[in-house]
Chains A and B, each alone.
Chain A
Amino acid sequence: GENVEQHPSTLSVQEGDSAVIKCTYSDSASNYFPWYKQELGKRPQLIIDIRSNVGEKKDQRIAVTLNKTAKHFSLHITETQPEDSAVYFCAANTGGTSYGKLTFGQGTILTVHP
């Protein structure tokens, strides 16, 4: 089955700096890679996703890059703000017959210091 590894487990940055979180996956048939943000005590919320037919996607201060050959994808947050502090999860879908199955990474605790 799919295995998703996420690094780092914790990340601390100063306000205004950039933050990068990286994930690798094992199933070469995976074609959908969402990123979720979970603030303390709240539900995970989708912040950006990418499909395998594109290499990069951007939404304001957030971008995701995908390298299908190397089987890794990354989340980039620029000009970080204290409200970006949360746990971030990457995920990859399982190809083949289990399309709806998302396998999540272990999560990254991002802390943005004012």
Chain B
Amino acid sequence: ETGVTQTPRHLVMGMTNKKSLKCEQHLGHNAMYWYKQSAKKPLELMFVYNFKEQTENNSVPSRFSPECPNSSHLFLHLHTLQPEDSALYLCASSQDWIGETQYFGPGTRLLVL
């Protein structure tokens, strides 16, 4: 599938590193999302962007910084992460933000050492 792509697919970083996750959607959607998926936990919504504007920040620590330069691209900038931040980070998009189907990317598997 090429609808929603994410890079890198795997990332190992130290607690003092700075890295960025990238998401791109080729579906012409207007809303994009970042989710965190940890083992034995439900999918946790982190951020929502609608028409490039952030509409939701689900009490995410400031060491996660999102950026949405246009409706097709979404970034998650990471700095001074903790080992408990290790998880699968999933990007999703939907046509708009009103109860529409969300399409997920393959995710970035992040390991913080």
Contacts and interface: CB of A to CB of B under 8 A. Distances in A.
Contacts of B43: 44, 89, 91, 104
Interface string A82-114: 000000010101000011111111110000000
A100 B107 contact: no
Which bucket holds chain B's interface residue count? 20 to 34
B97 interface: yes
B97 A105 contact: no
Given A44-B43, A44-B90, A101 B48 contact: yes
B42 A105 contact: yes
Interface in A1-25: 4, 6
Interface residues of A, number: 26
Interface of A: 4, 6, 31-32, 34, 36, 42-46, 49, 51, 89, 91, 93, 98-107
Interface of B: 1, 4, 31, 33, 40-45, 48, 50, 55-56, 58, 90, 94, 96-107
Given A36-B104, A91-B43, 7 more contacts: A6-B42, A42-B106, A44-B104, A89-B42, A98-B56, A100-B99, A101-B45
